[in-house]
């Protein structure tokens, strides 16, 4: 009997489509190897809240050191204030609006209205305040430093003592004297945070 000839069945899937599928799967795998923290400061509020204390410090320290080189402000003071004011970046103002220092807004600046506590007439009271909104924590650090550099409309030299302080203790006292915060124990709290977490090391590294 003559052998039957079998004709190869043509596939409906083209070679280019197969390679395209492999490429998509490969890219998806590569992307899955990266965590969202690889993309820098622009984390979501949920991710910022999961940062450990050291991770929070490590995220801000490099830019704080750059600001020291440019303007003389001590990184330990920047970091200490950021920790104290934002509760390690977990406050609503810091996590959602990138404002680490509770800096108030004025005029047509981007802002959000939130409740805050201030020490008035020897007692703590809750008030509504307008706070600046930033696009990143680095931008918040920049504005915080420029506040010390430029002072206020009524006193451009108001925070000069913070910039010229020989150490973090002098800088903390200068903040208190200038009235940066209404809390009468503010300087001691800043000093305590700096010493507890050894933030002075960033002033000399």
Asked about 118 being catalytic, the answer comes back as yes
In order of 94, 109, 132, 138, the CA distances from 135 in angstroms are: 11, 13, 10, 8
Per the residue annotation, which of 118, 122, 130, 200 is the catalytic one? 118
Rounded CA separation 169/161 (Å): 11
* Closest to 58 (Cα-Cα) out of 31, 32, 30, 89: 89
Helices 75-86 and 137-150, interaxial angle, to 10°? 120
Asked about 115 being catalytic, the answer comes back as no
Per the residue annotation, which of 55, 130, 142, 143 is the catalytic one? 143
* Closest to 73 (Cα-Cα) out of 175, 179, 177: 175
Catalytic residue numbers read 118, 143
């Amino acid at each position: 009997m003559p052998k039957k000839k079998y004709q190869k069945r043509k596939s409906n899937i083209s070679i280019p489509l197969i390679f395209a599928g492999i490429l998509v799967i490969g890219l998806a795998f590569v992307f899955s190897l990266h965590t969202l923290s690889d993309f820098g400061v622009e984390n979501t509020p949920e991710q910022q809240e999961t940062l450990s204390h050291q991770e929070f410090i490590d995220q801000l320290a490099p830019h704080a050191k750059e600001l020291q080189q440019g303007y003389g402000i001590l990184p330990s003071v920047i970091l200490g204030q950021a920790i104290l004011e934002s509760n390690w970046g977990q406050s609503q103002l810091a996590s959602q609006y990138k404002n680490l220092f509770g800096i108030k807004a004025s005029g047509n600046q981007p802002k959000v209205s939130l409740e805050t506590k201030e020490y008035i007439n020897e007692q703590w009271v809750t008030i509504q305040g307008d706070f600046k909104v930033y696009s990143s924590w680095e931008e918040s650090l920049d504005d915080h430093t420029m506040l010390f550099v430029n002072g206020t409309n009524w006193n451009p030299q108001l925070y000069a003592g913070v910039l010229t302080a020989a150490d973090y203790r002098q800088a903390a006292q200068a903040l208190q004297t200038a009235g940066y915060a209404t809390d009468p124990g503010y300087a001691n709290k800043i000093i305590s945070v700096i010493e507890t977490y050894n933030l002075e090391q960033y002033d000399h590294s």
